[in-house]
């Protein structure tokens, strides 16, 4: 009569890996626990932590960009790249520096109209705006060849293009002569002599139909290199 072979593990409970390790730890408390091979890929907890970190970084970047976004009114490059009709629609971030009308960095509306200036007059200094208004026959282009003057009205930055001294106009010479190292410029901003490497800089000028002059000291254009 055939006798069925009894299964090898009949009557025994097969324990799990964790239970086996727990029993081994009880039997040999002085042995370090066996190191388990790390599973390939991320655990659910790791994936959750990474997702939270990524969304936090995205939120921070978006907020920073919104706060510091430049506006075409204050950023020359953005202004040049943005069509004029769209510029009022781009307000800029609240952390971006803003300048009020009549303070350096902002816009100045002059009391004298364009028609009140002549090419024979000495440059008219606006000390707060740090610029001279001068009427010229031939507007002087800035670096890159652009003409900034309007109707012959130029706004010349008062700072010497050598090392930054404020430069006075010497009426007797009919020129700007820097007291620091002697750089000399024509009445219309062109370099004459001295250590400066370019013409005097200019600010953006706008002359309205009624002759009102506005100067934007937030938009400075480097003088043409010599
Ligand atoms: S700062 Fe004007 S010449 Fe040097």
Cα–Cα distance measured from residue 66 to residue 45, given in angstroms and rounded to the nearest whole number = 32
Same domain flag for 114 and 215: yes
Q: Whose CA is nearest to atom 1 of ligand 1?
A: 163
Do residues 149 and 136 make contact, with C-beta atoms less than 8 angstroms apart?
yes
CATH of the domain at 139: 2.102.10.10
Phi first, then psi: what are they for 99, rounded to 5°?
-125, 140
Per-residue pLDDT tens digits of the chain, which is 226 residues long: 555 555 566 666 777 777 878 888 888 777 776 666 666 677 777 888 888 888 777 777 666 655 556 666 556 566 666 766 666 566 555 555 677 888 999 999 999 999 999 999 999 999 999 999 999 999 999 999 999 999 999 999 999 999 999 999 999 999 999 999 999 999 999 999 999 999 999 999 999 999 999 999 999 999 999 9
Q: Among 168, 169, 195, name the best residue to mutate to test ligand 1's pocket (greatest count of ligand atoms within 8 A of Cβ).
A: 195
The set of protein residues with a Cβ atom below 6 angstroms from ligand 1 is 160, 162-165, 178, 180-183, 194-196
Neighbouring C-alpha atoms within 13 Å toward the C-beta of 199: 22
Phi first, then psi: what are they for 207, rounded to 5°?
-115, 115
What DSSP element (H or E) covers 67? helix 44-68
For CA atoms 34, 40, 41, 43, the dihedral sign is negative
* Assigned domain for 74 exists: yes
Cα(159) to centroid(ligand 1), Å? 9
Same domain flag for 117 and 190: yes
Q: What is the pLDDT of residue 155?
A: 98
Q: Among 175, 181, 200, 226, name the best residue to mutate to test ligand 1's pocket (greatest count of ligand atoms within 8 A of Cβ).
A: 181
Same domain flag for 187 and 114: yes
Give the predicted TM-score (pTM) of the model: 0.62
Q: Among 159, 163, 168, 177, name the best residue to mutate to test ligand 1's pocket (greatest count of ligand atoms within 8 A of Cβ).
A: 163
* Assigned domain for 34 exists: no
Q: Give the range of the structural domain holding residue 139, as residue numbers without chain letter.
A: 106-221
Cα(197) to centroid(ligand 1), Å? 10
Q: What is the pLDDT of residue 159?
A: 98
């Amino acid at each position: 009569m055939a006798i069925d072979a009894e299964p090898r593990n009949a009557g025994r409970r097969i324990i799990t890996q964790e239970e086996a390790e727990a029993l081994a730890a009880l039997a040999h408390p002085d042995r370090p626990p066996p190191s388990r091979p790390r599973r390939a890929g991320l655990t659910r907890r790791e994936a959750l932590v990474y997702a939270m970190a990524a969304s936090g970084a995205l939120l921070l970047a978006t907020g920073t960009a919104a706060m510091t976004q430049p506006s075409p009114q204050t950023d020359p490059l953005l202004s040049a790249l943005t069509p004029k009709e769209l510029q009022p629609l781009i307000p800029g971030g609240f952390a971006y520096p803003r300048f009020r009308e009549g303070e350096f960095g902002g816009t100045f509306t002059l009391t004298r109209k364009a028609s009140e200036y002549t090419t024979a007059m000495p440059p008219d200094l606006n000390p707060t705006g740090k610029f001279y208004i001068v009427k010229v026959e031939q507007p002087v282009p800035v670096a890159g060849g652009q003409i900034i003057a309007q109707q012959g009205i130029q706004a010349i930055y008062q700072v010497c293009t050598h090392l930054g001294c404020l430069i006075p106009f010497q009426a007797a010479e009919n020129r700007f002569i820097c007291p620091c190292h002697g750089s000399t410029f024509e009445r219309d901003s062109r370099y004459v002599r001295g250590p400066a490497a370019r013409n005097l800089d200019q600010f953006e000028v706008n002359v309205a139909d009624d002759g009102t002059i506005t100067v934007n000291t937030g938009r400075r254009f480097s003088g043409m290199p010599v």
